[in-house]
Structure 1
Amino acid sequence: MARLGDPRIGKHLLREEGEVVVDEVMHHWYAFLRPGAEGVLAALLMVTSWFVSVEVAWILLVVAIALLLHAAWGWLAVLRDRFVITNMRVFRVHGVLSQHLATMPLSRILDISVRKPLHGRLLGFGHFCFESAAQEQGLRDIRYVGRPDERDLAIQRVVQRAGLRGPRIPN
């Protein structure tokens, strides 16, 4: 069951070129709230079906099963969505049945915006928005990133070590 939630990011690394993972980011627990709430609602509908007439119970059970399947799909989608920072690039792997990979070399990152809504500041998550020279890319918004300030500093550190920004001038 653990393999079901693992997107196996190792197969996307350029090991021959010396690429190593700096940070692998899973979603913050807050992203699991919606599928979890759907699962709880499905369980409540199933329990409720025991106390109503048979004519109504089967409808509740069908709705509960559909809701439970939707919750399981949503849970798995959040679990398999990974954002990876390497010494050469950043990439995102996501998808349940089919897998989508979006990659951006460190040299193309022009700006990283970190948005932290009020509840995100209280609970310790934020959202990344990557700006690059290209207008459209598959790696623009990364939502529900835990410890976003630390992750932003990690990306900035990797970019600086790669020599993609100008040399640091002491004051």
Structure 2
Amino acid sequence: MGNPSGEPPEPEDDDERRRRERDTEPIPRVRPDDGPQFGTGPDFSDGPSYSDGPAYSDDIGYAGSERRAGTRGWVRDPDQGPEISEEELAGLRVDASGMPLGPRRVLPLEDEPTSLVARYLFPTERYRGEWKRHKISLATPLLIGLLATFVLGYLSGFLAGQEVGALTTVAVLIWLGIMGWVAWKVADWYFDRFILTNKRVMVVNGIITRQVAMMPLLRVTDMKYEQSPLGRALNYGTFVLESAGQEQALREVKYLPNPNELYLRVVEEMYEPQAVEARLGKEAEEAKADDGA
């Protein structure tokens, strides 16, 4: 449409004209193949393509991996399998019998039982180990003996100064009785054993009257061990065994040393007895080979 007044349009200033030209200028479209463009700034087209992820030189690639077109970064070849460290691989290596060749999480088993335990094993039973209770079980009697020594010693000296010989003799006899009780507790701790075989678990205790409690491994339906904060610090725990929901004489065994190690041994004997036999056979062969060398 023309100007209705017929008057010529007023001339535009330079700033207004430049602003109008800038607003009407078409916006250039950038194709993905052109790479990032930043106007008159530095050209990044020769650098790595951001759509393909970070670029790596050919000498820094991952083992068993390759750079594939249309993918992000390095892609591991499926035929190579997952990456496994040497430490993990050592734990997965097995021999012909299926036994792991890597380091074991349990210590070697003892070869022969002591004379105290051997009398309670039948000929076809395989001995796996025996353990005394943790020394923390002696804390109470030893503390009582120490306290009695100080108290009765002071009392005996005081009574001797008062020239009361009869009472001094009584204090000494009381002290001897307490120390005899402490010695009895120490001897009872020494003869108390937790025993593991390929057939059962046993607890043997008693000095004059011997007590033998046992539970077949096949009848153990549940087993756990508990550790208090002090038990975790001193490495002892309490074993709790369940058998078909019945109350057993061997249900709870306290103050067992190295409970995690012992737990692994019992569980392995329950669920992988063939593996235990194969490992023991292999260890025996290696021992013979070392003796022969």
TM superposition score normalised by structure 2? 0.50
Runs (5+) with no aligned partner, structure 2: 1-113, 275-293
Partner residue of 1:38?
144
Partner residue of 1:80?
191
Paired residues of 1:21 and 1:86 also in contact (CA < 8 A): yes
Runs (5+) with no aligned partner, structure 1: 1-5, 164-171
User: What is the rounded CA distance, in whole Å, between the counterparts of 2:183 and 2:215 in structure 1?
Assistant: 30
User: What is the rounded CA distance, in whole Å, between the counterparts of 2:129 and 2:150 in structure 1?
Assistant: 39
Quote the sequence identity (%).
27
Partner residue of 1:51?
157
Partner residue of 1:169?
none
Query: Shift of the alpha carbon at 1:53?
Result: 2.1
User: What is the rounded CA distance, in whole Å, between the counterparts of 1:135 and 1:120 in structure 2?
Assistant: 27
Deviates more, 1:127-136 or 1:90-99: 127-136
Paired residues of 2:226 and 2:238 also in contact (CA < 8 A): yes
Paired residues of 1:24 and 1:82 also in contact (CA < 8 A): yes
Return the structure number with greater strand share: 1
User: Residue 107 of structure 1 aligns to which amino acid in structure 2?
Assistant: L
Relative to 1, partners in 2 of residues 1:7 and 1:118: Cα closer, same or farther, differing over 3 Å?
farther
User: What is the rounded CA distance, in whole Å, between the counterparts of 2:133 and 2:207 in structure 1?
Assistant: 15
Query: Shift of the alpha carbon at 1:65?
Result: 1.4
1:109 and 2:237 aligned: no
User: Residue 146 of structure 2 aligns to which amino acid in structure 1?
Assistant: V
1:155 and 2:266 aligned: yes
Paired residues of 2:152 and 2:171 also in contact (CA < 8 A): yes
User: Residue 122 of structure 2 aligns to which amino acid in structure 1?
Assistant: L
Q: Larger Rg: 1 or 2?
A: 2
CA RMSD for the aligned pairs? 1.9
User: Residue 216 of structure 2 aligns to which amino acid in structure 1?
Assistant: P
Higher relative contact order (CA 8 A, sep 6+): 1
Paired residues of 1:90 and 1:103 also in contact (CA < 8 A): yes
Q: Deviations over 1:42-83 (max 9, x none)?
A: 432453255222434223212211211211122222221111
TM superposition score normalised by structure 1? 0.83
User: What is the rounded CA distance, in whole Å, between the counterparts of 1:121 and 1:129 in structure 2?
Assistant: 17
- Write out the 4+ residue segments of structure 1 that deviate beyond 6 Å after TM superposition: none
1:132 and 2:238 aligned: no
Secondary structure at the aligned position of 2:195 is classed as strand
